[in-house]
Structure 1
């Protein structure tokens, strides 16, 4: 026997990045690319009027169709992802949005704009939005769900606003057609990454979901995605939490997309502020959206999402009530403070809303969240129309900000009325399951 004093060493296996984070990374890029389409149509209004002589109503019809389809496609996209897989649906959506944007450069009539930008871009960008984020977090994550949903939601906001200054410069310097090509090329650039790295389920990679204790086999795909989407709506609509969540999210849409993105710039212009300065303030709101949404996701992992929603809507209401006093011809320090606070609160409602959908509706939560998101778009559309009508009737937007601020107060009360499932009151792991 040979004795030796040499130490015995054990080589620890190298720690690999969990595939869930790779999927989340690719999903982030896809959501950013899809988000770039959503704020671009506003930059096309004047160039299209100058080149074709179209009415604002004809141009706005394409934006309206795009907004409606963006909301309506979401729940069906979630069901289709369950039927055919995330990768196929996301790749098809990116191709549809890119095709619509590219074909719009060839249009000569308003109906072509409705078909290309309204239908194709609306369907494509809407399919890679909130329900996609909900599906990724539900399938791939058990731990850190709130944080991941916050990051993915922030990705959509980042896509909407990070591209806005660049696209504005492109449209001004190189024409609206070049501006339409930029997001199309961005979507097509993400397409190979989605094809190569996006996986539909942890079982496809032979791993457990991140933070899961047990391996879960991939569920069998079921036919009838559209029928399932409608059945899920019919089932959820018989429960009080669905209507409360839809109501609060409708308030969210009314107070963000409905009034801020549609009427803030003309309202500021009424007070003498240049449109470029007002648009820059909106872009700055988008910057703070990212920080606010990620922070909200982190908080959702730790606190009651109902109370977070109530706090967010209450603070948002206070900021909107103060806005008539802050409007002026120049950008003031109080206005910048409003922009920062509103930006932090703007999309912060998404992670807790997602968490509550998961708590109440389990495997159908992504589809239910899609229908709740449709309520968001409905609230946005109604507020956009009502805001314009109020401006025509009263000659000022002051009543609009006051009314929407009060509506946010009602949204805060609705959030507190939601009763969480009994299992969450007694299960100490309920926070983790979000």
Structure 2
């Protein structure tokens, strides 16, 4: 049974009208998601070997950056979610984007030790929380109902495009100008949403402040955290975050260890983004027409198979594995925002989705770090790959046990 009932105005509007009215919001959100905090996960893999070479850090130590930034994000997101519900997307973006840009500049100019490197990543996670997918999903959920699935899929495709474009771009930048230049390029890209926000046709802050949220449909925060659906989603996306993010920052060093040229390894890694870019809009379109869980579960199982293929077949399976993981990652982000909107409704969507996303980020932080230390201890990625496959299988089973939300809301 669903607890999210959309407004009569939204339900009465033609589905095509949603895109006609709200395409600036969709473009803003797609680009913002691609160049926000989440992009750091895609570029870290290209930085591992250069950082090892300059500072002598281990791969587990370098991947602590993912851990501290994700924990910083997880700590900040519940506050960001409440700010989004209270003040709106525009105000959050106008504060958070400049702070995130500053964090990128600090990483480029002041990193001199592992302590400073990790500190700046933690700062980026906290100050850049408003540049995460939670903010841009909130903007889309406010504008789309009948085509919410494909709209969220397009926005999530921004993350996939980052995975497709950023690794080879940073590989070229690093080869030409060094790893510090990569963070300066990221700072320039991260500033784009600050310009686009003025053209995005977002709900005005005055209108957000005027809304009595107690009159909106959906669950309150207090009621939602008492329900099984909320905790099931938290467990599922913790497992999927750990499993699917485990190998993304390790893909490039794994291939380099196998004798692949670093620039070629970066291009192969970008296939994760290719799979995501292709999958997310298609998956979102399917969510609007079929029961979302039944669409996503087979894709997670395929991604689990991809991890095992990388283990059994080695680098020769890297292109297929990258595509399967990318497709699974595409289904994951889509499903997280989509199910949150359908089970929770708009009343406290920012706060509730931010909590689910925080748990997802904690899982995605520990997965790569565990894989890095497992490699440092054993000299291989066997244990992390097997664990990731098992986690995706468990998450699929839990998803299949969730109660169905009403088909009437999937429009």
Q: TM-score, normalised by structure 1?
A: 0.79
SS of 1:105 mapped into structure 2 = helix
Give the alignment's Cα RMSD to 1 decimal.
3.1
Aligned to 1:152: 155
Instruction: Using the TM superposition, name which of 22-31 and 140-149 deviates more.
Output: 22-31
Aligned to 2:4: none
Deviations 1:189-226 (A, max 9, x none): 4422213434225996xxxxxxxxxxx9961489xxxx
Match of 1:373 among 333, 353, 357: 357
* 2:356 pairs with 1:356: no
Aligned to 1:228: none
Q: Which aligned pairs between 1:194-205 and structure 2 lie closer than 5 A?
A: 194-200=197-203
* 2:369 pairs with 1:429: no
* 2:88 pairs with 1:101: no
Evaluate the alpha carbon distance shift between residue 174 and residue 198 of structure 1 in structure 2; reply closer, same or farther with a 3 A threshold.
farther
* 2:11 pairs with 1:28: no
Deviations 1:17-69 (A, max 9, x none): 74422112122222222144443344445555665677767655444322222
Contact 1:134 1:354 in 2 (8 A): yes
Aligned to 1:311: 298
More helix by share: 2
Cα distance in 1 for partners of 2:376, 2:166 equals 32
**How far is the alpha carbon of 1:353 from its aligned partner?**
2.7
Evaluate the alpha carbon distance shift between residue 70 and residue 396 of structure 1 in structure 2; reply closer, same or farther with a 3 A threshold.
same
Q: How many residues align?
A: 387
Cα distance in 1 for partners of 2:374, 2:41 equals 25
Instruction: Using the TM superposition, name which of 137-146 and 38-47 deviates more.
Output: 38-47
Aligned to 1:138: 141
Structure label with greater radius of gyration = 1
Structure 2's unaligned 5+ residue stretches are 1-16, 215-219
**How far is the alpha carbon of 1:323 from its aligned partner?**
2.2
Cα distance in 2 for partners of 1:431, 1:324 equals 39
Match of 2:320 among 337, 356, 366: 337
Aligned to 1:209: none
Structure 1's unaligned 5+ residue stretches are 1-14, 205-215, 223-230
Aligned to 1:246: 234
Contact 1:245 1:372 in 2 (8 A): yes
Contact 1:39 1:160 in 2 (8 A): yes
Cα distance in 1 for partners of 2:271, 2:362 equals 25
Cα distance in 1 for partners of 2:49, 2:209 equals 53
Evaluate the alpha carbon distance shift between residue 420 and residue 306 of structure 1 in structure 2; reply closer, same or farther with a 3 A threshold.
same
Q: TM-score, normalised by structure 2?
A: 0.83
Contact 2:85 2:349 in 1 (8 A): no
Evaluate the alpha carbon distance shift between residue 220 and residue 366 of structure 1 in structure 2; reply closer, same or farther with a 3 A threshold.
same
Deviations 1:267-305 (A, max 9, x none): 444544444443322111111211111111011111112
Evaluate the alpha carbon distance shift between residue 46 and residue 352 of structure 1 in structure 2; reply closer, same or farther with a 3 A threshold.
closer
**How far is the alpha carbon of 1:77 from its aligned partner?**
1.8
Contact 1:289 1:346 in 2 (8 A): yes
Q: Using CA pairs under 8 Å that are at least 6 residues apart, name the structure with larger relative contact order, 1 or 2.
A: 2
Cα distance in 2 for partners of 1:387, 1:181 equals 28
Cα distance in 1 for partners of 2:70, 2:377 equals 25
Instruction: Using the TM superposition, name which of 259-268 and 139-148 deviates more.
Output: 259-268
Aligned to 2:391: 407
Contact 2:94 2:194 in 1 (8 A): yes
